[in-house]
Amino acid sequence: MAVFAVHYVYSDATAPVRDVHRPEHRAWLNALVDEGTVLTSGPYPDGSGALILVQGDSLEAVTKLFENDPFARENLLADKRIVEWLPTMGAFVS
């Protein structure tokens, strides 16, 4: 299974609505952590976005999965980029 980096970009304009949907967003992510799909997740300290590392079969499968994120469903992302990532050392090397 490949590892993918999901990069979220936030805008200041959506911050109040993200706060409303953050509990559902985090519950959704935690369910994916529990099943082993999400390896780790967290926001950037400056509030500009977040990074989520995911195991998946393909870029298409991960892209489809992340359409279900409450932040995506509510159009709260200024941008999203999903790329396959090849860890060569450390915690995420298989």
Q: The domain that contains 31 carries what CATH number?
A: 3.30.70.1060
Q: Specify whether the CB–CB gap between 72 and 18 falls below 8 A.
A: no
Q: Specify whether the CB–CB gap between 1 and 86 falls below 8 A.
A: no
The pLDDT of residue 53:
98
- The candidate with the shortest Cα–Cα distance to 48, out of 77, 69, 86, 88, is 77
What is the residue range of 55's domain?
A: 2-85
Domain count for the chain: 1
Q: Is residue 40 part of a domain?
A: yes
- Tell me the β-bridge partners of 5: 53, 83
Query: Alpha-carbon distance 3 to 37, whole Å?
Result: 9
User: Which amino acid, residue 29?
Assistant: L
Write out pLDDT tens, residues 4-56.
999 999 999 999 999 999 999 999 999 999 999 999 999 999 999 999 999 99
